[in-house]
Amino acid sequence: MTYTVPGMTCDHCKKAVSAELGAVAGVADVDVNLKTKLVTVSGDALDDAALRAAIQEAGYEVA
């Protein structure tokens, strides 16, 4: 699943989003690209609402 997170600008943003998403059940891998503002999450039985909530918990809005 891929999300656009326009508020990410630095390595701290990347770490915060990765940490929150990594704690969600079923997440196997998180890739954050600061240039494109895209977050790609892979894993089994991923819950879109839970992933969006994790990004918001990290302090960012999903576009």
| Domains of the chain, residue spans | 2-57
Q: Between the CA of residue 11 and those of 15, 45, 50, 55, 62, what are the distances in Å?
A: 6, 28, 23, 15, 18
| pTM of the predicted protein model | 0.94
User: How high is the pLDDT of residue 24?
Assistant: 98
* pLDDT, mean of residues 43-62: 97
- pLDDT per residue as tens digits for the range 29-52: 999 999 999 999 999 999 999 999
Q: What mean pLDDT, rounded, does the chain reach?
A: 97
Q: Select the CATH number that applies to the domain covering 2-57 from these four: 3.30.70.100, 3.30.200.20, 3.40.190.10, 3.40.50.1370.
A: 3.30.70.100
